[in-house]
Amino acid sequence: MAEATITRPDRRTPPASGRTTSAFGTPRAHRRYRITLAVLIVLAVGFGFGLLAWDNPMPVGSDGFWRIARMRATSVLVMAIVAICQATATVSFQTATNNRIITPSIMGFESLYVAIQTAAIYFLGVSGLVALTGLPQFVMQVAVMVGLSLLLYGWLLSGRYANLQVMLLVGIIIGGGLGSVSTFMQRLLTPSDFDILTARLFGSVSNADPDYFPVAIPLCVAAAVALWLRARRLNVLTLGRDATNNLGLDHRSEIMKVLFGVSLLMATSTALVGPMTFLGFLVATLAYQISGSADHRHIFPVAILTCFVVLSGAYFIMRNVFYAQGVVSIIIELVGGSVFLVVLLRKGRL
Amino acid sequence: MITLRDVRKSYEDEVTIGPVDLQIPTGGITALVGPNGAGKSTLLTMIGRLLGMDDGAIEIAGYDVASTASKDLARIVSILRQENHFITRLTVRQLVGFGRFPYSKGRLTQHCEDTISKAIDFLELTELEHRYLDQLSGGQRQRAYVAMVLCQETDHVLLDEPLNNLDMKHSVQMMRHLKRAATELDRTIIVVLHDINFAGRYADHICAVKDGRVVEFGTPATIMTDEVLTRVFDTEVQVIDGPNGALAVYY
Ligand SMILES: Nc1ncnc2c1ncn2[C@@H]1O[C@H](COP(=O)(O)OP(=O)(O)OP(=O)(O)O)[C@@H](O)[C@H]1O
Ligand SMILES: [Mg+2]
């Protein structure tokens, strides 16, 4: 028996010298994380390349092939931007509000987008929608969305009775109010105008115009990098207000900075492709499930890759299997929602 | 030394805490006692700068709480609140590791790791260090939170009802841990206690709070008397001689 004890060291209590704090509960979780990341990268590259090359009538490598691929590359780039925006924004927003079951789109970004689009066609007719396209108009839409959210955060979080829950509630109410105004205006549209509008209100990668890239890409990258650099602070924020202040971080100012980044990302994504209500929430939840870590430095990459895989996968399948790429947001919500439920029911916790 | 000068706080119109003038000496355990709603948590959170005061000033080791940068204060004073619910999935070790944030900003050094191990061992959580918080009992979790604030290595430690959720055995152990932290690690510990007998046994000073004011401050010997306790708690209390000193009987 004595030999057995010697050959089998006690696994539960590692020697004091080698005790370290890992972002993962167990070495197995760490291994699983690396595998998950690798699989996601393979899938992302696969779907991305598939979108560029699949069903390309020209032989791979020829001039014509690249010309067609370049046209398709725009939509792959849009998906990458949307993935970075939605995933980073949702994960950060959930951390800032200490709530894993909400998404920043409830803060009125999407209702505002819908209201702007509807108002344009209501007051100016179809020419109004045309007047909304163009780089200055894109910048204006982003500015209005960011402005509104900053007003909301600033007003509700800097007062004496600063309260996150009230801010969320007011955000939802404003969103709901804008939604009803839009619905009302939509009722009064002619059927043909309404039809044109509807196409704009479904989140779709084809809404994006490459002309917007010079603004959209820097905005998205700058805000996402800023949030990534704050990953360690975001980890502290998950402990809640009091513990954050105790550790020497000013909770209120941290939250404001994070929410500013979130609103930049959400505004960019929404102005670029339209509403994607469920996407961010879906990928954030999946990322927490499959990454096995509560550290933002590990969650961000998984969330972004998942988001890109979900988006590009849905487009790839819709284009090449069902020949119906217009309804991708619907398939994302259907398939994504089911995957989400399955994962949740199997794991039993968020 | 923690000094409160003319500290006031009013919630809405009716409830006013203060004015409080108080000096808490360096070293040892100071117990805050008093009935529910007396203002113990309010005072403690104001000292720990989690709650702003309306008037007055608080100094910890010469640093003014209102004007000193929060990140500097985080190396001088740490505070654990009455209720904690950390929603994230963390292991005990990860949670305790957060206590190093004021020094490492999230990049743990070898020294940090050693400090974390020490804090975990100190609260006898060694076997549990890789367990997730939601796999612990309430009392074990409570100890993990205390380990986190000890890991912050501040000279002043404020704890609001750390005996919450603890059974008889672990309450006694927790108080012994705190006593050891005060003597061996030279910490000044201020702790809100509900069981006056724990205060009498383990505290070096007792501060009695009632209706938002400090009504008594002194050594356990001066506080543990029929007259004082009856007045503070509005309950008939008799102090008898126990095997380990004075014992308050109130039922
Ligand atoms: N956020 C708040 N808003 C309004 N009143 C409050 C608030 N927090 C505390 N109070 C009131 O202030 C008084 C002191 O509360 P405090 O929490 O400091 O009491 P306590 O001594 O810690 O009580 P307990 O032993 O029950 O924890 C109570 O009357 C309480 O109702
Ligand atoms: Mg209290």
pLDDT digits (tens, 9 = 90+) for B44-89: 999 999 998 888 899 999 899 989 999 899 999 999 988 777 766 7
Q: For residue B158, what is the nearest residue in chain A, using CA coordinates?
A: A246
By Cβ distance, the residue of A12, A232, A245 closest to B50 is A245
- Answer for the pair B131, B91: CB distance below 8 angstroms, yes or no: yes
For atom 24 of ligand 1, the residue with the nearest CA is B36
What's the gap in Å between B37 CA and the centre of ligand 2?
Answer: 7
| Residues in A touching B48 (Cβ below 8 Å) | 246
Select the more confidently predicted residue: B203 or A325: B203
- Answer for the pair A283, A340: CB distance below 8 angstroms, yes or no: no
pLDDT at residue B88 in the model: 66
Looking up residue B229, the CATH number of its domain turns out to be: 3.40.50.300
User: Of B153, B171, B195, which residue constitutes the final position of a domain?
Assistant: B153
The answer to whether the bond into A15 is cis (omega within 30° of 0) is: no
- State whether B72 and B160 are in the same domain: yes
Number of domains in chain B: 2
Sign of the Cα torsion A77, A82, A85, A91 reads negative
Beta-sheet pairing, B63-64 with B55-60? antiparallel
- Answer for the pair A65, A324: CB distance below 8 angstroms, yes or no: no
A43 in a structural domain: no
Amino acid identity, position A30: H
CA Rg value for chain B: 18
User: Residue B238: beta bridge partners?
Assistant: B249
H-helix segments, chain B: 40-47, 70-73, 92-98, 101-104, 110-122, 138-151, 168-184, 196-202, 220-223, 226-233
- State whether B17 and B103 are in the same domain: no
pLDDT at residue A160 in the model: 63
pLDDT at residue A301 in the model: 94
Banded model confidence at residue B14, pLDDT cuts 50, 70, 90: confident
pLDDT at residue B235 in the model: 87
pLDDT digits (tens, 9 = 90+) for A189-205: 888 888 888 877 877 77
- State whether B66 and B174 are in the same domain: yes
pLDDT at residue A232 in the model: 93
Phi, psi angles (nearest 5°) of residue B129: -65, -25
Query: Span A128-133, mean pLDDT?
Result: 76
What's the gap in Å between B41 CA and the centre of ligand 2?
Answer: 4
Looking from the CA of residue B44, the nearest atom of ligand 1 is 18
Question: Of the bound ligands, which one is closest to the alpha carbon of residue B33?
Answer: 1
Question: Of the bound ligands, which one is closest to the alpha carbon of residue B159?
Answer: 2
pLDDT at residue A106 in the model: 77
How far is it, in rounded angstroms, from Cα B214 to Cα B206?
11
- State whether B160 and B245 are in the same domain: yes
pLDDT at residue A325 in the model: 59
For atom 18 of ligand 1, the residue with the nearest CA is B39
pLDDT digits (tens, 9 = 90+) for A152-209: 777 777 766 667 788 788 888 888 898 899 999 988 888 888 888 887 787 777 777 8
Interhelix angle A135-158/A164-187, rounded to 10 degrees, is 140
How far is it, in rounded angstroms, from Cα B163 to Cα A145?
48
Phi, psi angles (nearest 5°) of residue A290: -90, -15
pLDDT at residue A161 in the model: 61
- State whether B175 and B68 are in the same domain: yes
| Chain A contact residues (CB < 8 Å to B) | 12-13, 16, 19-21, 23, 25-26, 98, 100, 232-233, 235-236, 238-240, 242-243, 245-250, 294, 349
pLDDT digits (tens, 9 = 90+) for B98-132: 999 999 888 888 888 889 999 999 888 998 888 88
| Residues in B touching A19 (Cβ below 8 Å) | 93, 113, 116-117, 129
Sign of the Cα torsion A168, A174, A177, A179 reads negative
Phi, psi angles (nearest 5°) of residue B32: -95, 120
Which stretch of A257-266, B130-139, B214-223 has the lowest confidence by average pLDDT? B130-139
- State whether B133 and B205 are in the same domain: no
How far is it, in rounded angstroms, from Cα B115 to Cα B211?
40
Q: b vs e for A255-276, b when ≥16 Cβ sit within 10 Å of the residue's Cβ? A: bbbbbbbbbbbbbbbbbbbbbb
Question: Of the bound ligands, which one is closest to the alpha carbon of residue B47?
Answer: 1
Banded model confidence at residue A342, pLDDT cuts 50, 70, 90: confident
Mutate to test the pocket of ligand 1, among B7, B17, B20, B41 (most ligand atoms within 8 A of CB): B41
Query: Length of chain B, please?
Result: 251
Contact between chains at A21 and B97 (C-beta distance less than 8 A)? yes
Beta-sheet pairing, B245-249 with B55-60? unpaired
| Residues in B touching A239 (Cβ below 8 Å) | 86, 88, 98
Domain membership of residue B101 as a residue range: 84-153
- State whether B69 and B169 are in the same domain: yes
User: Residue B216: beta bridge partners?
Assistant: B208
Domain membership of residue A285 as a residue range: 74-347
- State whether B244 and B168 are in the same domain: yes
Banded model confidence at residue A241, pLDDT cuts 50, 70, 90: confident
Q: Which structure tokens are listed for B89?
A: 């999935």
Beta-sheet pairing, B205-210 with B77-80? unpaired
B61 contacts: CB under 8 Å, gap ≥ 6: B1, B2, B26, B76, B155, B156
Largest CA distance in chain A: 88
Average pLDDT score over chain A? 82
What's the gap in Å between B40 CA and the centre of ligand 2?
Answer: 6
Amino acid identity, position B52: G
Number of domains in chain A: 1
Q: How many CB atoms lie under 10 A from the CB of residue A24?
A: 21
A58 in a structural domain: no
pLDDT at residue A348 in the model: 65
- State whether B171 and B69 are in the same domain: yes
Average pLDDT score over chain B? 89
Q: List all residues whose CB is within 6 A of at least one atom of ligand 1.
A: B 11-12, 15, 34, 36-42, 82
B106 — alpha (psi -120 to 50), left (phi > 0) or beta? left
Q: Does the structure show a pLDDT above 60 at A101?
A: yes
Return the DSSP state at B4: E
Mutate to test the pocket of ligand 1, among B9, B17, B33, B40 (most ligand atoms within 8 A of CB): B40
Q: What is the pTM of this model?
A: 0.87
pLDDT digits (tens, 9 = 90+) for B147-181: 999 999 999 999 999 998 788 888 998 899 899 88
- State whether B113 and B11 are in the same domain: no
Percentage with pLDDT > 70 across chain A: 91
- Answer for the pair A104, A89: CB distance below 8 angstroms, yes or no: yes
| Chain B contact residues (CB < 8 Å to A) | 45, 48-50, 70-75, 78-81, 84-91, 93-94, 97-99, 101-102, 105-108, 112-113, 116-117, 126-127, 129-130, 132, 134, 149, 152
Which stretch of B8-22, B135-149, B169-183 has the lowest confidence by average pLDDT? B8-22
A18 in a structural domain: no
A287 in a structural domain: yes
Q: What is the 3-state secondary structure (H, E, C) of chain A?
A: CHHHHHHCCCCCCCCHHHCCCCCECCHHHHHHHHHHHHHHHHHHHHHHHHHHHCCCCCCCCCHHHHHHHHHHHHHHHHHHHHHHHHHHHHHHHHHHCCCCCCCHHHHCHHHHHHHHHHHHHHHHCHHHHHHCCCHHHHHHHHHHHHHHHHHHHHHHHHCCCCCHHHHHHHHHHHHHHHHHHHHHHHHCCCHHHHHHHHHHHCCCHHHCCHHHHHHHHHHHHHHHHHHHHCHHHHHHHCCCHHHHHHCCCCHHHHHHHHHHHHHHHHHHHHHHHCCCHHHHHHHHHHHHHHHCECCHHHHHHHHHHHHHHHHHHHHHHHHHCCCCHHHHHHHHHHHHHHHHHHHHHHHCCC
Banded model confidence at residue A3, pLDDT cuts 50, 70, 90: very low
- State whether B228 and B167 are in the same domain: yes
Which stretch of A22-31, B48-57, B169-178, B202-211 has the lowest confidence by average pLDDT? A22-31
B91 burial (CB, 10 Å; 0-12 / 13-18 / 19+) is buried
User: Of B153, B168, B191, which residue constitutes the final position of a domain?
Assistant: B153
Q: Does the structure show a pLDDT above 80 at A343?
A: no
Q: For residue A248, what is the nearest residue in chain B, using CA coordinates?
A: B71
**Complex ipTM, two decimals?**
0.90
pLDDT digits (tens, 9 = 90+) for A51-85: 887 777 777 777 777 778 777 888 889 999 999 99
Q: Does the structure show a pLDDT above 90 at B133?
A: no
Looking up residue A172, the CATH number of its domain turns out to be: 1.10.3470.10
User: Residue B193: beta bridge partners?
Assistant: none
How far is it, in rounded angstroms, from Cα B151 to Cα B90?
16
User: Of B136, B153, B170, which residue constitutes the final position of a domain?
Assistant: B153
A95 in a structural domain: yes
How far is it, in rounded angstroms, from Cα A85 to Cα A262?
8
Q: Does the structure show a pLDDT above 80 at A323?
A: no
- State whether B244 and B159 are in the same domain: yes
How far is it, in rounded angstroms, from Cα B191 to Cα B2?
14
